[in-house]
Structure 1
Amino acid sequence: MVFYFKARPDAGDYTIFMGLDKHENEDLIKYGFPEDIWFHVDKMSSAHVYLRLNKGQTMDDISEGVLEDCAQLVKANSIQGNKVNNVDVVYTPWFNLKKTPSMDVGQVGFHNSKLVRTVQVEKRLNEVVNRLNKTKVERTPDLKGTRFLSGIYFIFSF
């Protein structure tokens, strides 16, 4: 099960998504797209939240509003992080996530720490979280199949 959210309307057509639990996070880690940006509360347990950028965009293209949406969603979906103020949220491109066999389910590291950015979330903004939750849709996508088909499209799109 994956939860999908729509970013603030004035930001453009962006989809934000997260897994139901650490097992779905494993599939999201495994079958992500190069356009995906991963968000997580730093040094605390939290949801893995992803922002799918449009082709050709980079982390530098994320507006402050969309960044706030993703950071607020991560904070709201962290048991410990939701209870405290001034939490750090880290984010990095999906392809920078490093998963080794010795890591626990849902745990990741990074290939290159220089590609990891941090934004501080002072406090939970209920108006942002409530707006996002109103757009929440549950789906059970075929992540492997979607990733495979995307790869085929990429090969034949030249």
Structure 2
Amino acid sequence: MVFYYTSNVVAPPAIIYMGIDKYENDDLIKWGWPEDVWFHVDKISSAHVYLRLEQGQSIDDIPTSVLEDACQLVKANSINGNKMNDVDILYTMWDNLKKTPGMEVGQVSFIKEKEVKKMRVAKRNNEIVNRLNKTKREEKPDLRAEREKRDRLEREDKKQILRVQKEKEKEEEKKKKDEAELRNYSTLMKPENMKTNYDSGNDSDDFM
């Protein structure tokens, strides 16, 4: 089961989601998207929360209001963190997560520590948490199928971009060729380069 939330503080709304337990967290880690940002309370147990960015966005493009929504949701879904003040929330892009065979279920580490960001949450904001909970919906998605569909569409988009690029290159090449031929023709048509078969002499033969 995956819980989905809608952050309406931006337009279009941002999608935030998390797994129901540590086993689902492993599936989310495995089948996450490159556009996903992972959130977790630092040093203590909490839900694994994901924010899905639009294609082309980076972690630095997250609006402050959306970032606060995600961090409040993480804090609210941490048994100990929810009761604490001044907790740190870690967040990083999904492709910076590292899962090795020896790790426990739901456990994860990072490929590059320097790409992990941190946000301090002073206390729980019930207004934010209640707003998000009103948008909560439960689904049983096929995470693998969704990721494979996403990758297939991306490949098709890249192929289309490549086709358009090749067509543009062909047009540019044809344009250059046409311009070169036009320059050659213009050069041939200059008076100094033109020849005539007119003969003004009197020794030519006349054919009646």
Taking structure 2 as the reference length, the TM-score comes to 0.74
**Rg (Cα) greater in structure:** 2
**3-state SS in 2 of match to 1:9:** coil
CA distance in 2, matches of 1:144, 1:10: 28
**3-state SS in 2 of match to 1:55:** coil
Q: Which has the higher helix share?
A: 2
Q: Deviations over 1:117-154 (max 9, x none)?
A: 00000000000000000000000000001111111111
CA distance in 2, matches of 1:12, 1:121: 25
The yes-or-no answer on 1:95 pairing with 2:91 is: no
CA distance in 1, matches of 2:150, 2:11: 25
**3-state SS in 1 of match to 2:10:** helix
Question: Contact 2:47 / 2:77 at 8 angstroms: preserved in 1?
Answer: yes
**3-state SS in 2 of match to 1:128:** helix
Structure 2 unmatched ranges of 5 or more: 159-208
Question: Contact 1:2 / 1:18 at 8 angstroms: preserved in 2?
Answer: yes
Cross-structure match for 1:52: 52
Q: CA RMSD in A?
A: 0.9
Could you tell me how far 1:13 is from its partner in structure 2? 2.1
Name the aligned partner's letter for residue 120 of structure 1. Answer: R
Q: Which has the higher strand share?
A: 1
Q: Deviations over 1:79-122 (max 9, x none)?
A: 01001100000000000000001111111000001110000000
Could you tell me how far 1:11 is from its partner in structure 2? 5.0
The yes-or-no answer on 1:123 pairing with 2:107 is: no
Mapping of residues 19-38 of structure 1, within 5 Å: 19-38=19-38
CA distance in 2, matches of 1:59, 1:11: 17
CA distance in 1, matches of 2:34, 2:13: 17
Question: Contact 2:92 / 2:115 at 8 angstroms: preserved in 1?
Answer: yes
Name the aligned partner's letter for residue 150 of structure 1. Answer: R
Taking structure 1 as the reference length, the TM-score comes to 0.98
Q: Deviations over 1:41-78 (max 9, x none)?
A: 00000000000000000011101100000000000000
The yes-or-no answer on 1:10 pairing with 2:10 is: yes
Could you tell me how far 1:33 is from its partner in structure 2? 0.4
Question: Contact 2:9 / 2:65 at 8 angstroms: preserved in 1?
Answer: no
Structure 1 unmatched ranges of 5 or more: none
